[in-house]
Amino acid sequence: MKIMSINAGSSSLKFQLFDMQDEKVLVSGLFERIGIDGRYTIKYNGEKITENIELNDHTQAVNILLEKLIALNIISSLDEIDGVGHRIVQGGDKYSKSVLITDEVIQDIESFKDLAPLHNPAGLLGIHALKENLPNAKMVAVFDTAFHQTMPKASYLYPVPYSWYEDYKIRKYGFHGTSHRYIAEKMKEVLGRDDLKIISCHIGNGGSITAIKDGKSIDTTMGFTPLAGIMMGTRSGDIDPSIIPYVMEKEGKNAGEIIDDLNKKSGLLGISEVSPDSRDIEQGISEGNWKCALAEEMYVKRVVKYIAEYYVLLDKADVIVFTAGIGENGINVRKEIVENLSALGIKLDYEANDVRGELRKISTDDSSTLVYIVPTDEELMIARDTLELVQNG
Ligand code: ADP
């Protein structure tokens, strides 16, 4: 069985094709600058092909992708692709797991776009492009929000007028659910237990931390939108909402413009005034840039705050997991975070921590809690869900 996972952005489309017999990635790549000029990168057999090519829309990008798969002998016919899984950011409170895509599902994704104006329309572009090019393959929607549907009401409600929830569905949805679910399944496999209390720290350019009990999300840091929670590359995370009208007045901006500043000009970038990328921040620190040092200190402080909160919520934790770009590769950021957790008896094995992108235990044997690095794999999760629904859905 061959399954493709698709992650469509407004001007990009990432893909991976899996042979599900051994969950091997046959080919992966990215179409970008769709509707602007166009470029693709395809990786297979250890080779990388890049070409600038006009891409008017997502349908054309998928058309070229499928032609290339045949031309490169990766598949001999389009019928070999049995299913396609699509990453969809917002599934509202209706979808608590992945589903086969029907007209009703498409309408729902469309109707949730109010809640995810940048992401859900992009997901639909991907669905339509694949449906047009592969009319016989089964399509599956895998929602970022689904894993968090198990949160209790006390976690997902905001302390605002209750009618806002009833009338407008104002609540915490949470995101990165596919990654947090992967972490939960991987830790179950690694530790051989399913009654685990896990604090999953997905910290990349975007970031969220999730408290997982017995394989279920019970709280998470992102909220109504992915702007909430910890500090991120360019996003502020939690701030006092009164700042918004105050700066609107000072700068003569509207609410949308301020939200844009909070999404794109804040976080590590906003404080360092150098870059949203933690590698550049570390470089700045080594050159004595105090704003970079402050940005990292604030970043670590906010991550630690939530780990501590979830440690209490879970009534201690069995394992803290670091994943995504910074979690997997940020040796110094991990060190700073774990050192700041010493009050909880959590201790870092410095030698073990000196690694990038590897599944590994990085806590000492006398640490109160296990600490692991686990490389995440959202694409594989999407492919597994798709296979399951293609076979049994
Ligand atoms: P996204 O949220 O866009 O998927 P990623 O998970 O790829 O982001 O994470 C991007 C972040 O990971 C950046 O801040 C980057 O600096 C960091 N990162 C990636 N590789 C390394 C590395 N080798 N060392 C330190 N940080 C890294």
The answer to whether 186 touches 372, Cβ cutoff 8 Å, is: no
pLDDT at residue 143, as a whole number: 98
Decide if 144 is catalytic: yes
Residue 138 placed within a domain = yes
* Same-domain check for residues 133 and 200: no
Whether 133 and 256 map to the same domain: the answer is no
- Note whether 204 and 102 are same-domain residues: no
Residue where a domain terminates, one of 103, 118, 143:
143
Same domain, 250 and 370: yes
- For the stretch 236-272, pLDDT in tens is 999 999 999 999 999 999 999 999 999 999 999 999 9
Same domain, 196 and 136: no
Same domain, residue pair 105 and 9: yes
pLDDT above 90 (res 124): yes
Print the domain residue range for 29.
Answer: 2-143
- d(C-alpha 89, C-alpha 91), whole Å: 7
Ligand 1, atom 1: closest residue by C-alpha: 205
Same domain, 365 and 241: yes
Identify whether residues 88 and 205 lie together within a single domain: no
Instruction: Report the CATH number that the domain containing residue 66 is assigned in CATH.
Output: 3.30.420.40
Look at residue 371 and tell me if it is in a domain: yes
Instruction: Give backbone dihedrals phi and psi of 336, rounded to 5 degrees, phi first.
Output: -60, -45
Same domain flag for 139 and 200: no
The predicted structure's pLDDT at residue 393: 79
* Residue 364 domain-assigned (yes or no): yes
* pLDDT at residue 113 tops 90: no
Residue ranges of alpha helices (H) inside the chain are 58-71, 103-111, 119-133, 153-156, 162-168, 177-191, 243-251, 255-264, 267-272, 278-286, 290-313, 324-329, 331-339, 350-353, 378-392
Cα dist from 372 to 320, 342, 352, whole Å: 6, 16, 10
Model confidence, pTM: 0.96
Ligand 1: residue of 179, 205, 285, 374 to mutate (most ligand atoms within 8 A of CB) is 205
pLDDT at 117: 83
Residue 335 and residue 263 share a domain: yes
Cβ count within 10 A of residue 201? 27
Question: What is the tens place of the pLDDT at every residue in 164-190?
Answer: 999 999 999 999 999 999 999 999 999
CA 152 → CA 144, 195, 217, distances in Å? 18, 18, 9
Number of domains composing the chain: 2
Q: Pairing between strand 207-213 and 216-220?
A: antiparallel
**pLDDT per residue over 142-151, tens digit each?**
999 999 999 9
163 in a domain, yes or no? Answer: no
Catalytic residue chosen out of the listed positions 108, 144, 377, 385: 144
Q: CB count, 10 Å around CB of 264? A: 14
- On the question of pLDDT at 31 being above 90, the answer is yes
